[in-house]
Structure 1
Amino acid sequence: MARRALGPATLRVAVAVRRALAEHAPGGQPLLVACSGGADSLALAAGVAEAVRQQPRPARVLVVDHGLQPGSAEAAADAVGRCRGLGLPGTVVRVRVEGPGGPEASARDARHRALLAEAGVDDAVVLLGHTLDDQAEQVLLGLARGSGPRSLAGMAVRRGPLLRPLLGLRRADTEACCRELGLQPWQDPTNADPALTRARVRHRVLPLLEAELGPGLAEALARTADLCRRDAEALDELAGRHRTEAEPLCADLLPLPPAVRHRVLRRWLLERGARQPGHDHVLAVDALLTSWRGQGPIDVPGVRVRRRDGRLTTS
């Protein structure tokens, strides 16, 4: 019996997945689909299932159970069942959410560790279901923090083993795809929790801005991320050409453009043992070059930086 034709939203998802695989993962590597059971990741799983039907390659689903809400184990099992119904085998892995940065950041870190560990088994590409809406939210959060172009660059389609095929689609597309396929997505209660900054951006800030500034704001923010990413990558490449010694000469660093010099200094701080040096730390160290008045050492998490005999040193 002939297969039913794909609905318009499902077709958009399938085309986005096929294009992303053709451009960013053409080598036939196994695919590992991260699925939460929400609309975005279920639609992604459907798109992957359609893609591998047309061009066979190993593909499977991993559902990460963070154990943060009652019934999370049942929701994870349901997500695996829905993916199997789409033709993709799947498993659940339970993680422990702990560490710095609050529950949202800790859950994200635990999830990524689990996905990368599972992908390492067969060198799989990890597919994530982030959409254009997620990208727009990321840019707004970066603007609110006063972040530089690297943060405003948002999420790349491909970075390392991670691949995000749906960054060009709206959340409405993934929700429509699930409706067309008769899939009932799981509604993560944290996505509507006003105590979480991202939830407030999603449900209050972005809709208000779109209502006041007109349609197309999310697309404009995503386009801003693309432009910032290109600029940041070019600056990173320029900074990468400047190799620093253990105790670099200030006279060698001072002529560099600030955007490049700051990147060189941040990389040098990390090489010397600094832990997540922020922009303020980099600017304070930069002042040892640009505003030298014999000032004392600069404390950066993990290291202390001082200027001595025309060089930067750490202790």
Structure 2
Amino acid sequence: MALRRAVRGWLSRYASADVVAVGLSGGADSLALTAATVAEGAVVDALIVDHGLQDGSAAVAAEAARAALGVGVRSARVLTVRVRGEGGLEAAARRARYEALDDARAGLPVLLGHTLDDQAETVLLGLARGSGGRSIQGMAEFAEPWGRPLLEVRRAQTRQLCADLGLRPYDDPHNSSPAFTRVRLRTEVLPLLEDVLGGAAAPALARTAAQLREDGAALDAIAEELLNVASDGGALSVEIIATAPAAIRRRVIRAWLLSGGAKALTEKHLRAVDALVTDWRGQGGVAVGGAKPGTRLVARREHGKLTMAFTPY
């Protein structure tokens, strides 16, 4: 069975112990993942996030917990969150969900039910952002603490497993609402691509993401070596990185900014800081994401070095 093979392989590659957590929504993907993980011999703690965005969400979460206990998990906990913040409902719900799972996992890796279909949607969203290869690498099979064993499994297979086991997954109405970009990709764009390209679009997108992750890992390793050479305390030598290929140089700059406290870096941020190296005309500093309240994180070129500091505004 494809799901059990996928979970078995993931556990053998990444699980350092026989205990894992599963992020369970009650939908077919995460419910099938939970059942397959239990069947493969792992001890599973199910973590169910109640976003509180719909009437009856508490009952849905409670039913998911009952289903998880029914397939043999060790424990099933419902985590109630408040969804708020910038970036729209999808982004705010995602932040709240991941924060709750991270707080509750007690040091365990958390398996998530993302499938090959989800991966294809993620790659298309990254293409729309147009922010380089990193944005279309998709989701990794393991990015600690998040594990995704089902990235080569189709969504139809998770539904079939639920049917085979007599499980009744919950169909979230948000997953069919055209108000969300990802839903329109799922229901309109990908079916059209599959029709035009003969049914191979989603696997091809997923393969492309995997290849780009491999390439990206190799480039990141080279960039890390250069970063070590170019670092001077908290500064970065312009002379050392200036002649590096752009793909390496920008990775060095990105890693350096992240080490200094930058967050939510965009391609615009990276190119502006890169211009301090390659197109130096005496321009001022570049404010990047990650500022503390009342301050901003600014990268500058000073005396042949890139420096950064939190400055008040």
Residue matched to 1:268: 256
Work out the CA distance in 1 between the residues paired with 2:297 and 2:17.
Answer: 44
| 1:18 pairs with 2:24 | no
SS of equivalent residue, structure 2 residue 113: coil
Work out the CA distance in 1 between the residues paired with 2:49 and 2:91.
Answer: 15
SS of equivalent residue, structure 1 residue 248: strand
Residue matched to 2:222: 238
Please tell me the residue identity of whatever aligns with 1:214.
Answer: G
Cα shift at 1:58: 2.5
Work out the CA distance in 2 between the residues paired with 1:275 and 1:30.
Answer: 32
CA separation of 1:272 and 1:21: change in aligned 2, threshold 3 A: closer
Q: What's the C-alpha RMSD, in Å, of the aligned pairs?
A: 1.6
Cα shift at 1:299: 3.2
**2:287 maps to which of 280, 288, 299:** 299
Structure 1 residue ranges without an equivalent (≥5): 1-10
Cα shift at 1:83: 1.4
Residue matched to 1:116: 102
| 1:283 pairs with 2:277 | no
Contact 2:272 2:286 in 1 (8 A): yes
CA separation of 1:261 and 1:118: change in aligned 2, threshold 3 A: same
Residue matched to 1:51: 40
Residue matched to 1:313: 307
Please tell me the residue identity of whatever aligns with 2:6.
Answer: A
Structure 2 residue ranges without an equivalent (≥5): 290-295
Deviations 1:166-196 (A, max 9, x none): 1110001001111111211101111111111
Contact 1:254 1:290 in 2 (8 A): yes
| 1:175 pairs with 2:163 | no
Contact 1:149 1:231 in 2 (8 A): no
Contact 1:262 1:286 in 2 (8 A): yes
Work out the CA distance in 1 between the residues paired with 2:14 and 2:111.
Answer: 11
CA separation of 1:182 and 1:29: change in aligned 2, threshold 3 A: closer
SS of equivalent residue, structure 2 residue 159: helix
Please tell me the residue identity of whatever aligns with 2:273.
Answer: V
Contact 2:129 2:135 in 1 (8 A): no
Return structure 1 stretches of 4+ with deviation > 6 angstroms: none
SS of equivalent residue, structure 1 residue 214: coil
Residue matched to 2:81: 95
Q: TM-score, normalised on structure 2?
A: 0.90
| 1:148 pairs with 2:132 | yes
Please tell me the residue identity of whatever aligns with 1:30.
Answer: V
**1:33 maps to which of 22, 31, 35:** 22
Q: TM-score, normalised on structure 1?
A: 0.90
CA separation of 1:30 and 1:266: change in aligned 2, threshold 3 A: same
Residue matched to 1:202: 186
Work out the CA distance in 2 between the residues paired with 1:204 and 1:182.
Answer: 30
Work out the CA distance in 2 between the residues paired with 1:69 and 1:148.
Answer: 36
Work out the CA distance in 2 between the residues paired with 1:313 and 1:31.
Answer: 42
Number of residues of Structure 1 aligned to a counterpart in Structure 2: 298
Work out the CA distance in 1 between the residues paired with 2:215 and 2:176.
Answer: 34
Work out the CA distance in 2 between the residues paired with 1:50 and 1:29.
Answer: 12
Work out the CA distance in 2 between the residues paired with 1:58 and 1:212.
Answer: 43
- Structure number with greater CO (CA < 8 Å, separation at least 6) is 1
